[in-house]
Amino acid sequence: MEKYWNPEIECMSREDMKKLQDERLVAQVKHVYENVPYYKKLMDEKGVTPDDIKSTDDLHKLPFLTKSDLRDAYPYGLLAKPLSECVRIQSTSGTTGKRVVAFYTQHDVDLWEECCARAITAVGGTNEDVCQVAYGYGLFTGGPGLNGGSHKVGCLTLPMSSGNTERQIQFMTDLGATILCCTPSYAAYIGETVKEMGLTPDDLKLKAGIFGAEPWTEEMRREIEKSLGIKAYDIYGLTETSGPGVAFECSAQAGMHINEDNFIAEIIDPDTGEVLPEGSKGELVFTSITKEAFPLLRYRTRDICVLTREKCSCGRTLVKMCKPMGRSDDMLIIRGVNVFPSQIETVLIDQGYAPNYLIEVDRVNNTDTLDINVELTEEQFSDTVKDIQIKERELVEAIKTILGINPKVHLVAPKSIARSEGKAVRVIDKRKLHD
Ligand code: DLL
């Protein structure tokens, strides 16, 4: 039987949800207009006033916000409540430019934790569970978000943070963790380490994992499910909209339900900004309708996605988003061809490699180069040099078929590609260094 944390909201009729969103949007636009001079200016420039926004049908009239607005307004320029009412700051894990700093009132923290509680309940979590949170704690939203959700549900919460993998596994077995929350790349690494420690999934009590914060493929889902003996569920979110829990997967494991009572989702054409009809592929845009301190309106996520309202077998009526299919800004253009790292990952896993790889893009004599370093497993490593060369050629062919361009493939020794305890670094684009 499917369990819900908040059945009234999660299974609300479309009509009632629209009514709720309409009311909340109208109030939110007024709140932002009156308290955030930066956004008021954007609205004034567009000739829009709060009176023009009577329902979600008017959403398209509002100006967009982008990461560059967040940088311009850093640190307090988008704050909509006095600092004395804020109780928390979180920040992006980004390593380039100024970090994004998000603010929360206690009300905002409560709503965020409710979203994460819905995600944990959707994977079967109850107060009988032991929930190991191995996302990073600190400024990154992963640890604090799932930690709060786990408390709300009443799970016994293990606030492990990421890293120290053998200790993670020791706690996991000693304390009988049943739910694991971390990035999918770290889950895959934990799976590898379990095997290396001479353990099998039967030695673990784990039943479910809640993995997100970075792109991962269906093939990777199956790998993780096998190596840990669990069901692996996706979770999505971004610092700008609070953190994990904006959307979460249910028992159907086919797309993530968006917490629409808090976030209105739109899909736009990333080039023109035009709102696209339901079912179209485009850039995901979110409007927070309940957040008090950092209420971003029409925030462009850069995540490329499709929304669907098809009936879900879990009974939830919340709109679903597919796995992000890449970002409008991290898509690689190599010799004029659009390349998403996930396409390469799919080929690697299909051909029996572990998802440990590093893509290096460079430009030599005005021509783009694509080098893909792929780690061999221990079993594959015992092959002769000749066998390895054959394997490299096979991979080159398979990738060429999918991408239409010729990569260089380097099969490297097991464990020679640095492991990540947070988000994996999959791409090094050296062209940016020359520009
Ligand atoms: O990654 C929040 C989070 C923490 C989500 C833990 C899920 C679990 P940021 O560091 O601000 O926040 O990064 C947000 O990460 O715009 C996406 O591009 C990417 N992302 C997040 N979740 C997923 C996912 C957190 N499930 C950015 N699949 C987003 C693919 C994801 N990409």
Instruction: Please indicate whether residue 290, judged by its CB atom, sits closer than 6 Å to ligand 1.
Output: no
Of all residues in the chain, the percent with pLDDT exceeding 90 is 80
Number of domains in the chain: 2
Nearest ligand 1 atom to the CA of 215 is 30
Q: How far is CA 25 from the centre of its chain?
A: 25
CATH number reported for the structural domain that contains residue 203 in this entry: 3.40.50.12780
> Are 187 and 43 part of one and the same domain?
yes
Q: What is the mean pLDDT of residues 283-296?
A: 98
What domain range includes position 366? Answer: 332-429
316 has pLDDT over 90:
yes
Domain endpoint, select from 329, 345, 374: 329
Can you tell me the mean pLDDT for 318-325?
95
Same domain, 379 and 272: no
Which atom of ligand 1 lies nearest, measured to the CA of 246? 5
Whether 101 and 93 have beta carbons less than 8 Å apart is answered as no
Asked which of 309, 329, 349 is the last residue of a domain, the reply is 329
Q: Does residue 296 register a pLDDT over 80?
A: yes
Are 182 and 87 within one domain? yes
Quote the pLDDT of residue 433.
53
Q: Which atom of ligand 1 is nearest to the CA of 324?
A: 30
Question: For 246-268, what is the mean pLDDT?
Answer: 98
Among 332, 345, 336, smallest CA distance to 372 is for 345
pLDDT digits (tens, 9 = 90+) for 86-139: 999 999 854 444 678 999 999 999 999 999 999 999 999 999 999 999 999 999
Summarize the confidence of residues 18-31 as an average pLDDT: 98
Are 252 and 337 contained in the same domain? Answer: no
* Spatial distance between the Cα atoms of 52 and 297, rounded to a whole number of angstroms: 15
Please tell me if the CB atom of residue 299 comes closer than 6 angstroms to any atom of ligand 1: no
- The whole-angstrom separation of Cα 379 and Cα 224 is 19
User: 39 in a domain, yes or no?
Assistant: yes
Q: Please write the tens of the pLDDT for every residue from 327-385.
A: 777 678 787 777 888 889 999 999 999 889 999 999 887 778 999 999 998 888 877 88
Q: Is 182 in the pocket of ligand 1 (CB under 6 A)?
A: no
> Are 216 and 365 found together in one domain?
no
Report CA(212)–ligand 1 centroid distance (Å). Answer: 6
pTM flag (> 0.85): yes
pLDDT for the residue numbered 100: 85
Q: Is 307 found in the same domain as 173? A: yes
Cα–ligand 1 centroid distance for 426 (angstroms): 15
Please, where are the H alpha helices in 292-423? 341-350, 378-381, 385-403
Domain containing residue 405: CATH number: 3.30.300.30
Phi, psi torsion values for 104, nearest 5 degrees: -135, 135
| Residue 88 and residue 52 share a domain | yes
For residue 234, give the ligand 1 atom closest to its CA: 26
Residue 294 and residue 228 share a domain: yes
Residues 121 and 233 both lie in one domain: yes
Q: Is 128 a domain residue?
A: yes
Cα dist. 102→217, 291, 324 in Å? 29, 11, 22
Residues 225 and 317 in one domain: yes
Q: What is the structure's pLDDT at 93?
A: 54
Reported as type and span, the H/E element at residue 32 is helix 14-35
Q: Which residue has the tokens 């096998």?
A: 226
Task: Say if residue 298's pLDDT is above 50.
Answer: yes
Nearest partner of 133 among 175, 105, 89, 90, judged by Cα: 175
- What pLDDT was estimated at residue 295? 97
Q: Is residue 126 part of a domain?
A: yes
pLDDT per residue as tens digits for the range 201-222 = 999 999 999 999 988 889 889 9
Return the best residue to mutate from 70, 256, 303, 425 for the ligand 1 pocket (most ligand atoms within 8 A of CB): 303
Q: Is 212 in the pocket of ligand 1 (CB under 6 A)?
A: yes
Edge-first strand listing for the sheet containing 243-249? 156-158, 130-133, 179-182, 208-212, 231-238, 243-249, 256-258, 320-321, 299-308, 281-288, 263-268
Closest protein CA for atom 13 of ligand 1: 238
Task: Indicate whether 434 belongs to any domain.
Answer: no
Contact 215, 342 (CB under 8 A): yes
Q: Which residue has the higher pLDDT, 414 or 94?
A: 414
Domain final residue, candidates 302, 329, 356: 329
Domain identity same for 312 and 347: no
281 and 148 housed in the same domain: yes
Whether ligand 1 lies within 6 angstroms of the CB of 248 is answered as no
